[in-house]
């Protein structure tokens, strides 16, 4: 991977990610997406920002559910180009910008949402400050990240001599910072932080934590895609709903 490109503008990662998106039974589709929607209020007539919008799936869904205006932001020009091609709803707008340089209008948004993007962002506390300024009073910030027990180590199962999975390693959990994680056949950077850091920064900035989820596949999902059974052995995602007060 080239270090001078936004992550998903790298040819190899973008191609691998596109292939993954087309595969059935994806973990983020089966587990993360229903969980994050369960945390969001009805977006009808809302002004919404989607941080790390990728190809625009959530933007399209928010528009379909009646949001008045939805701004999708992503650092990747390739992702925004794809989102723009596939999103023709008049309420949708897209912007190429790193989340580290987030510039949202103050006291404007009824909801800010981010799906599996904040574990790429450093510093997290600045982003939370930016989101708080952008939200109206009592508005919500809802996000998902890879669970910190996933980002703290190398993101691979320990296996026995026969290749059977023994356990998921948790190592150097309290040492926050950048990690290189093996993902889609490539070494990809993540920002590891603890659960307490994700929550306490929000509390310190004047948010009320309304709900925290650590979802795993249900019986129906495992019956349909048995390979997801191991995802019950440790939670793959952390989701948070916080309200500005």
Model pLDDT for residues 51-81, shown as the tens digit of each residue: 999 999 999 999 999 999 999 999 999 999 9
pLDDT of residue 180: 83
Quote the mean pLDDT of the chain: 91
Domain ranges of the chain: 7-244
pLDDT of residue 60: 95
Q: Is the distance from CB of 99 to CB of 129 less than 8 angstroms? A: no
Residue 102 has pLDDT above 90, yes or no: yes
User: What average pLDDT does the segment 31-54 reach?
Assistant: 97
First to last CA, the chain: 42
CA 174, CA 184: separation in Å to the nearest integer? 26
Q: What's the order of all strands across the beta sheet hosting 135-146?
A: 92-96, 69-74, 47-51, 109-115, 135-146, 237-244, 207-213
CA 64, CA 35: separation in Å to the nearest integer? 18
User: What average pLDDT does the segment 181-187 reach?
Assistant: 72
Residue 219 has pLDDT above 90, yes or no: yes
In this structure, whether the domain defined by 7-244 belongs to CATH 3.40.50.150 is answered with: yes
The structure tokens listed for 5 are 């490109």
Residue 12 has pLDDT above 70, yes or no: no
Name the more confident of 205 and 13.
205
pLDDT of residue 1: 43
Which residues have C-beta within 8 Å of that of residue 224, sequence separation ≥ 6?
25
pTM, whole model, 2 decimals?
0.90
Give residue 4's pLDDT band: very low, low, confident or very high (50, 70, 90).
low
Strand partners, 135: 109
pLDDT of residue 39: 98
User: What average pLDDT does the segment 122-146 reach?
Assistant: 97
pLDDT of residue 179: 86
Residue 21 has pLDDT above 80, yes or no: no
pLDDT of residue 189: 82
Residue 26 has pLDDT above 90, yes or no: no
Residue 73: which of 102, 108, 43, 46 has the closest Cα?
102
User: What average pLDDT does the segment 125-132 reach?
Assistant: 98
pLDDT of residue 157: 86
Name the more confident of 4 and 17.
17
């Amino acid at each position: 991977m080239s270090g001078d490109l936004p992550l998903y503008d790298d040819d190899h990662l973008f191609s691998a990610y596109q292939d993954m998106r087309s595969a059935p039974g994806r973990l983020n589709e089966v587990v993360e997406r229903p969980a994050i929607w369960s945390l969001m209020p009805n977006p009808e007539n809302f002004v919404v920002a989607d941080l790390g919008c990728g190809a625009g799936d959530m933007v399209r869904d928010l528009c379909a559910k009646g949001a008045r205006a939805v701004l999708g932001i992503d650092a990747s020009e390739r992702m925004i180009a794809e989102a723009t091609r596939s999103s023709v709803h008049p309420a949708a707008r897209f912007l190429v910008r790193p989340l580290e340089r987030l510039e949202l209008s103050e006291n404007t948004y009824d909801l800010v949402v981010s799906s599996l993007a904040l574990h790429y962002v450093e510093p997290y506390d600045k982003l939370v400050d930016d989101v708080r300024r952008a939200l109206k009073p009592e508005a919500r910030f809802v996000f998902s990240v890879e669970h910190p027990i996933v980002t703290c180590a190398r993101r691979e199962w320990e296996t026995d001599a026969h290749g059977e999975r023994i356990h998921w390693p948790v190592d150097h959990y309290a040492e926050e910072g950048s990690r290189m994680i093996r993902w889609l056949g490539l070494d990809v950077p993540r920002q590891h932080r603890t659960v307490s850091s994700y929550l306490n920064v929000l509390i310190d900035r004047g948010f009320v934590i309304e709900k925290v989820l650590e979802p795993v596949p249900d019986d129906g999902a495992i019956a349909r895609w048995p390979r997801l059974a191991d995802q019950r052995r440790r939670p793959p995602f952390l989701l948070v709903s916080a309200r500005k007060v």
